[in-house]
Structure 1
Amino acid sequence: MAIPKPTSPVESEIFDLFKENDPSGAYINGLKEYVGKIFVPSKRNLEKFSRRVDELRLKVENKSQLKVLDSLAAWYGLAEPHMVPESVLNAYFGYMIKEGIVDGHMKALTRNGIRAMQAGTMEAAGRNWPTGLRLLTLIRCDGLQEIIRTIKKETQDKQLKESLDDLSEVTRKFASIFRVKGFKNQGFDEVYKIIKKQGADLGRKGIYGQALQRLWDYSETPGELEAKGLKYLDRELPKFQRVTAKLAKKHGVPARAEEVSKVIKAKRAVKVNEIIPYLADLRKRVVKVANKRIVKVNPRYDARVMETPSYLTAIFPSGGAFFFDTFTDKPQQVFICTTDPRRDPSTAPGELLNLLVHEEYGHCVHASNSSFGYGAKPSLVDMLWSPLGGAISEGISFQREVEFQDVM
């Protein structure tokens, strides 16, 4: 789509709300006037956002607008500490994917990133955060510190380097609020040991039911959701156990999923330095099948495949998808694949195929088709980021996995 033009005054007001409260996302998606800006999550700004949502809810013209507003309000209402460093980290990554390191843009972004982290520190200090939230926050702080180091290595601008040092220091102070004994961000095994010992409570029990409804437009209660999940396990686990036993016998290993996975990877894994070229070749073949049998791919689709940067591997242990320039004539999508052995990288050919189907023919194709209005004509509000939109994209992506298995 070109720079979007709201079709009504209400749609225009909702779009303004999005831009004011996600200015880094607005810039990354093509709105140049928001360069260098980032949302500062102060109590005052969050209350202002909440009041504005309440005003707009009284004006909505359709269910789509109401659901997006409810989803955004519920997201900001969580006010969880990991959201602060993650927003700054995502802004830096989006800028680097979009344009590389432009010193002037990075200096403005860093100044505002410092303000965001300082505001987050003020709101988080003095509270007893549960272990799960502390871990989520520390992982994102480590990622932010790593991207700061990456930018410092690449830039020659002295002023930017100094500002990045300041951001690093305020991030360190923020992270000190959430210390967890034994945490060094060394991968899943380390975190799992901590969780087994200290638990992984996120402190969401009191809001879970409301979150399901408002964040993701989910009608079931927490109890009904749990029952559905257990029903899925009862249906799928026996099949999984039968396949595991069959493969274990074939490969001469104990009938445990971990052992079977280990032996298959040892025999068939793609070498780490060959994973991205392997995917680049595989997708040329898969797109023909996907386009013919699963989902029509618009002729202007041109996603990029890249290795997950080290500063994002803890957040995306296997892979992910990113979109930028959505509000321009040339929307872009990026499929990232994690190869870091400390995380949960896909290395067996079957795993890589499944990852490709999920991230590319789920997330990336959905984003591209929506941007061009290919097959459907989403409204401007439909195209704005929200937790609900993210959940819909995830649902589509997992459905693509099932559809591709049926084709095979």
Structure 2
Amino acid sequence: MDKEVLEFWKEVNPESAFCMGVKECVAILFIPSYYNVKKALAKIEQLQRGADPAIQKFLNAEKRGLMREEPQDAPDQIMGVFYTHLVKEGVNEKHVLALAEQSLNVLGVQQHLWEESWPVELQIFSSQSCDGAVMLLEIIKKECKGEEVKEALVAVQNRLKLWKVHTCKVKLTGSDFAKTFPLLQKYSNGLGRKKEYAGIIKDLYAYMETPDEIEHKALLWIDEELPALNNILTRLAKRYKCKPTVEDINKALEKHQHVPLKELVKTTMELRSVLQVIAHDEWVQITPKYDVRVIETPKYLVPFLPTAAMQPFDGLTKKPFCLSFVTTDPKASPSTFLPALVQTLVHEEYGHCVNFMDSFTNPQNRVVEIMGSTLDTPITEGISFFREVESTRTFERVLKKGPKSKSEKEIVKLIEKFCPFDAFVDGILFEVAQWRMVRFLRAVSDVRLNLEKQNFPEFIDWAHEKTGLSKKLVFDQTFHFQQNPGYAPCYSVFGQRLRDFQKQAMKNGFSQVEFNTFVASAGFPARDIFEERLKNKFDLA
């Protein structure tokens, strides 16, 4: 049955399959015509008959994705497939031409979406997705030599511009807070997903919580952790003689714990060589087949990776690997102070990269549980979210009790090239605390906006009053998540579950490393299946 599901997945998700190392899926797009979608849904119904729960829930996620029709989806699909091919193989003009021709079909079969009247948020998403796709195609076009492929790319660009005209009726003069928020204040009136939201998040991400339960939990977490954020803001404000706001503290850290742009990649490499030993000893065992390649973000990818990112590749082959991008372009948003650089490294590499590599190389995992779907998201984002907290525990212990190993002595020495170690620890505590607050707010926003309890301006005002975070910061960290309902709560909801499960497991005599290694290497089944395995393995209630 797993093989049948794999073959089906290759048909409806060739872009993902190519990324995972399925060579026959190179330069292929799924064309979501009425006939193709109907055929795919019928195949899902057939495959689900008699299938086990893991396959049932994987197919539920695929089904929900196939049924979705929003104006930003087509340009997003086009941008995603060109981006994946660009990252994995550079500019292959034969493949670029094939993708361009299919992209016109992707847009053509969904032209009926032009006739809809879309909520302002979706209009903005569609406009920005079209702009992003046009920009990426322009970058690729400059690398091409053949006239035929250039003309094909221009044709797709022109079609995307037409798509933007027909799906976005509001006049956008920019994508930042100052330009976008006034439009939301004037036109925001619900996302149009109210009736479907609970089903969407259950199918795509296997949430075990209802929307109201997600909101309730996130509000409790905000109340629990806001005092700690305010305390670290006050402490750093006294240290750096500035206002106790997130923005002012970030400016102070940029000044006092600065990492020069020209040293960013070198410093990242030095940090990871030491942190990898610490991670393996204290946080999670790392597979001997670990292959993560840190590279400076190429110029043509900087607009899409303004700070840093990772991406797994070839997970269905014998040689999976991850790319970890470090952006150094001053026109982008590189991590140029030490706590931000370390927090990003911990989240991206010792969260995501270790998770994917440990899972891909675990022979006990079923293909259906590693081949890629939205079910990945809560697990890997939850792991990375919680790994940040585990890192602060290590840094605080080293500060209070002193380094206990060679690698810990090396990390202190490396950090003290930029600032005193105690100042760094305060900085990383702040960095993690602010990001935790942001992710709790994302969870609240997802529920309230999709259930239309608040419109976006009302949520922004509430979040600002509740947490003291600026309206711009809240907007920047929540708005774009609404392109994909259900994604935003993934970090905190499963991350907090891991926190509770780990605490119980350690009470039962298991070590942090034992627990985390099992979690990181167990693949990506639906959350209820994943959690049941955790409970059985660690005798959890």
TM-score by length of 2: 0.68
Give aligned pairs, total.
Answer: 395
Equivalent position SS for 1:80: coil
How far is 1:266 from its partner?
A: 2.9
For residues 306-349 of structure 1, what are the alpha-carbon distances to aligned partners after superposition, in whole Å with 9 as ceiling and x for unaligned?
A: 45567766765543321222222221211234556676543321
How far is 1:222 from its partner?
A: 1.1
What amino acid maps onto 2:224 in structure 1? R
The correspondence of residues 148-163 of structure 1 with structure 2, limited to 5 A, is: 148-163=137-152
User: What's the % identity of the aligned pairs?
Assistant: 30
Equivalent position SS for 1:37: coil
Q: 2:78 matched to which residue of 1?
A: 88
How far apart are the structure 1 equivalents of 2:251 and 2:184? 24
Q: Is the 8 A contact 1:322 1:333 kept in 2?
A: yes
Once the two structures are overlaid, the 10-residue window that deviates more, 75-84 or 125-134, is 75-84
How far apart are the structure 1 equivalents of 2:222 and 2:272? 31
Equivalent position SS for 2:323: strand
Say yes or no: does 1:78 pair with 2:68.
Answer: yes
Q: 2:230 matched to which residue of 1?
A: 241
How far apart are the structure 1 equivalents of 2:173 and 2:282? 45
Q: 5+ residue gaps in structure 2?
A: 396-541
How far is 1:353 from its partner?
A: 0.7
How far is 1:72 from its partner?
A: 1.7
- TM-aligned CA distance change 1:201 to 1:303, over 3 Å: farther
Say yes or no: does 1:57 pair with 2:48.
Answer: yes
- TM-aligned CA distance change 1:354 to 1:384, over 3 Å: same
How far is 1:26 from its partner?
A: 1.8
How far apart are the structure 2 equivalents of 1:398 and 1:292? 19
Say yes or no: does 1:328 pair with 2:317.
Answer: yes
The correspondence of residues 120-199 of structure 1 with structure 2, limited to 5 A, is: 120=110, 122-179=111-168, 181=170, 183-199=172-188
How far apart are the structure 1 equivalents of 2:308 and 2:185? 25
Equivalent position SS for 2:311: strand
Q: Cα RMSD (Å) of the superposition?
A: 2.4
Say yes or no: does 1:270 pair with 2:281.
Answer: no
Aligned equivalent of 1:401, options 368, 385, 388: 388
TM-score by length of 1: 0.89
How far is 1:380 from its partner?
A: 0.5
Once the two structures are overlaid, the 10-residue window that deviates more, 353-362 or 190-199, is 190-199
Once the two structures are overlaid, the 10-residue window that deviates more, 282-291 or 335-344, is 335-344
How far apart are the structure 2 equivalents of 1:15 and 1:309? 33
What amino acid maps onto 1:21 in structure 2? V
Q: Is the 8 A contact 1:133 1:201 kept in 2?
A: no
How far is 1:12 from its partner?
A: 1.8
Q: Is the 8 A contact 1:135 1:180 kept in 2?
A: no
Say yes or no: does 1:285 pair with 2:261.
Answer: no
Q: 1:379 matched to which residue of 2?
A: 366
How far apart are the structure 1 equivalents of 2:388 and 2:99? 38
The correspondence of residues 107-126 of structure 1 with structure 2, limited to 5 A, is: 107-120=97-110, 122-126=111-115
Q: 2:512 matched to which residue of 1?
A: none
Aligned equivalent of 1:19, options 10, 22, 30: 10
Equivalent position SS for 2:167: coil
How far apart are the structure 2 equivalents of 1:131 and 1:273? 41
For residues 255-278 of structure 1, what are the alpha-carbon distances to aligned partners after superposition, in whole Å with 9 as ceiling and x for unaligned?
A: 222222222223323234443332
Q: 2:469 matched to which residue of 1?
A: none
How far is 1:112 from its partner?
A: 1.0
Once the two structures are overlaid, the 10-residue window that deviates more, 326-335 or 12-21, is 326-335
How far apart are the structure 1 equivalents of 2:255 and 2:379? 36
How far apart are the structure 2 equivalents of 1:343 and 1:193? 25
Q: 1:346 matched to which residue of 2?
A: 335
What amino acid maps onto 1:35 in structure 2? V
Equivalent position SS for 2:109: helix
Q: Is the 8 A contact 1:152 1:161 kept in 2?
A: yes
- TM-aligned CA distance change 1:315 to 1:150, over 3 Å: closer
How far is 1:243 from its partner?
A: 1.2
Larger radius of gyration: 2
Q: Is the 8 A contact 2:119 2:191 kept in 1?
A: yes
For residues 88-115 of structure 1, what are the alpha-carbon distances to aligned partners after superposition, in whole Å with 9 as ceiling and x for unaligned?
A: 2121121122221111122111111221
Q: Is the 8 A contact 1:138 1:179 kept in 2?
A: yes
Once the two structures are overlaid, the 10-residue window that deviates more, 129-138 or 356-365, is 129-138
What amino acid maps onto 1:392 in structure 2? I
Equivalent position SS for 1:333: strand
How far apart are the structure 2 equivalents of 1:295 and 1:64? 25
User: Of Structure 1 and Structure 2, which has the larger fraction of its residues in helix?
Assistant: 2
Equivalent position SS for 1:177: helix
Once the two structures are overlaid, the 10-residue window that deviates more, 21-30 or 312-321, is 312-321
For residues 226-248 of structure 1, what are the alpha-carbon distances to aligned partners after superposition, in whole Å with 9 as ceiling and x for unaligned?
A: 11010000001111111112211
How far apart are the structure 2 equivalents of 1:275 and 1:169? 38
How far apart are the structure 2 equivalents of 1:284 and 1:346? 18
How far apart are the structure 1 equivalents of 2:55 and 2:151? 43
Q: 1:6 matched to which residue of 2?
A: none
The correspondence of residues 308-323 of structure 1 with structure 2, limited to 5 A, is: 308=297, 318-323=307-312
- TM-aligned CA distance change 1:49 to 1:273, over 3 Å: farther
How far apart are the structure 2 equivalents of 1:314 and 1:190? 19
Once the two structures are overlaid, the 10-residue window that deviates more, 337-346 or 72-81, is 337-346
For residues 376-407 of structure 1, what are the alpha-carbon distances to aligned partners after superposition, in whole Å with 9 as ceiling and x for unaligned?
A: 62100001211111221111111211221222
Equivalent position SS for 1:297: coil
